[in-house]
Chains A and B, each alone.
Chain A
């Protein structure tokens, strides 16, 4: 592997006494679409937060571009989980996306016309330019997610960490995000995405991190997306789900395929 874009070493985060992630080590390559997967409560979101300095690791450390986060923060954009904020906040789509420029421009400086152009461009990329003045409480789930993506795009970073961008979005938004990810990848960006849906994992990601509080596997999707590793990650739950869907397929129930 070339220089890893993210490296985690002995990373442990405790919430109270309960470990959210336990002794995780991995290295991730640059320029790829990387999925972080695991069952509910397996520490996927906490991992992103620890990388971004939102939660402090109890032990261990992470490095980005072989450096401390503080030195490369301008290259990294974080897309939090949509449910984490109050969407009834009195703010417009424009207000939220402009936050992506706050740190770049300096928190005490006024945004310039250059910033405004970047905000417009970012809104355009997620097809939300027509909604710039819309109050955020009037957006659908998919539109909220696009606003969050636009805010991250406005930072003009190289590395994107996204927490469940596909959760609860409509089909149009999902397709738009996929196209956007492809476009970003072809521009040399690295995308790290916490994801839920096993069905789409193989088609979305080049590289996978599978975890269940501990790291189960990390590697090329073709190498790690195996029955054995998935069973190790999801435990008994997966086999039940797999059995049910197999059963449904056998009886030709109409379930959605991708």
Chain B
């Protein structure tokens, strides 16, 4: 049953990240996921201080708002201060992350915030906190939260698909027909923030980035249709999670690390295959 819990959790993270990541990859801003997953630290600290508990809900709210704050700072630096977007990302999240570290090391000596955990996650421990669902059916607490977020993310993307699609494809044209580019930016960023925050708690920041960028990049190589790209990224995210889990189990290594490696491996295989196919087509057409 533990296998099932861990794989289900990883798959839910994979689906959320694949959907958000597909938009981020096409907007050339996937590292914003990295920024958010680090920038949450001061938010977590304040949520812990004010609520006095480590229960999930206030912590999640604190983390998510801190993540959104990071995206606002990045947006401001890029558009108002005219800084390059990668430099804006670098400056804002390291600053927020560092503030978080200082606050915790000064005032949170007894706080149960493990920095190891932030980076590498605790996928293996997910089955330790089970909640009853119906009768004998239990689900880990993390998995339940992820399930809710998945539903929210899916509904939001279906509801706002056209807005997200057009503003990702052609910002100037969207502005010209009166579509609120700013609204859709923050709509997406809220989704990314929510996804990242609930995901990194279970799988760690590294795997979140791997899930945000890897499966969408693989799908991008394989299709010229954005809807298909969304579906394919989810499929590859799930596939890599399952392979990665059993690989980790057989080698007795970290699950999050193993899944990240599998994502890299699958990307390399697909990239080689599509490149070979392309050169074949070139030879034929020449």
- A residues neighboring B (CB under 8 Å): 16, 49, 52-54, 70, 73, 76, 78, 80, 84-86, 89-92, 95-96, 99, 102-103, 107-108, 135-138, 151, 155
Partner of B162, one of A86, A96, A102: A102
8 Å CB contact of B226 from A70, A95, A102? A95
Given A52-B175, A85-B169, A137-B224, list of 7 further CB < 8 A pairs? Answer: A78-B173, A80-B170, A85-B170, A99-B166, A103-B178, A107-B162, A138-B224
Measured CA separation A214–B26 after assembly (Å): 37
Q: Name 29 interchain pairs, CB-CB below 8 A, sorted by A.
A: A52-B176, A53-B176, A53-B178, A78-B177, A80-B170, A80-B172, A80-B176, A84-B170, A85-B169, A85-B170, A89-B226, A90-B26, A90-B220, A90-B225, A90-B226, A90-B229, A91-B169, A91-B224, A91-B226, A92-B224, A95-B165, A96-B169, A99-B166, A102-B177, A103-B179, A107-B163, A135-B225, A136-B224, A155-B177
Number of interface residues of B (CB under 8 A): 24
A49 to B174, CA, bound (A): 12
Bound together, the chains give a CA A54 to CA B26 distance in angstroms of 21
CB of A245, distance to nearest CB on chain B (Å) = 35
- In the bound assembly, the distance between CA atoms of A156 and B152 in angstroms comes to 36
- Establish whether residues A73 and B177, one from each chain, have CB atoms under 8 Å apart when the complex forms: yes
Contacts from B to A (Cβ < 8 Å):
26, 82, 159-160, 162-163, 165-166, 169-170, 172-173, 175-179, 220, 223-226, 228-229
Residues on the B chain within 8 Å of A151, using CB: 173
Please indicate the chain A residues that have their CB under 8 angstroms from the CB of B26 in the complex: 86, 89-90
How near does chain B come to A251, taking the closest CB pair, in angstroms? Answer: 39
Residues of A within 8 A of B82 (CB): 16
Which one of A84, A107, A136 has the highest number of Cβ atoms from chain B below 10 Å of its Cβ?
A107
Chain B residues, Cβ within 8 Å of A95: 165, 225-226
Q: How far is the CA of A86 from the CA of B25 in the complex (A)?
A: 12
Within 8 Å by CB of A103, from B160, B170, B177, B223, lies: B177
The answer for the CA separation of A73 and B175 in the assembled complex, in Å, is 11
Contact in complex: B224, A135 (CB < 8 Å): yes
Task: Tell me the smallest distance from the CB of B83 to a CB of chain A, in Å.
Answer: 12
**B113 → chain A closest CB, angstroms:** 40
Contact of A108 with B226 at beta-carbon distance under 8 Å, contacts A52-B176, A99-B170 already known: no
> Among A49, A91, A138, which residue has its beta carbon within 8 angstroms of that of B172?
A49
When distances are taken between beta carbons in the complex, the residues of chain A under 8 Å from B220 are 90
Closest beta carbon of chain A to B18's beta carbon, Å: 14
Task: Known A90-B223, A107-B163, A108-B159; judge A70-B178 contact (CB<8 A).
Answer: yes
The CB with the most chain A CB atoms within 10 A, among B162, B177, B178, is that of: B177
Report yes or no: A53 in contact with B166, Cβ–Cβ below 8 A. no
Q: Is the CB of B170 within 8 A of A78?
A: no
Q: Which residues of B contact A52 (CB under 8 A)?
A: 175-176
User: Across the interface, which residues of A come within 8 angstroms of B159, CB to CB?
Assistant: 108
Q: What are the residues of chain B within 8 A of A73 when measuring CB–CB?
A: 177-178
Complex: how many Å from CA A95 to CA B168? Answer: 13
Contact B179 A54 (CB under 8 A): no
Closest to A137 in B: B224
User: With A and B bound together, what is the CA distance between A54 and B177 in angstroms?
Assistant: 10
**Nearest opposing residue in chain B for A105, CB measure:** B162
Residues of A within 8 A of B223 (CB): 90
Shortest distance from the beta carbon of A218 to any chain B beta carbon, whole Å: 23
Complex Cα–Cα for A99 and B169 (A): 10
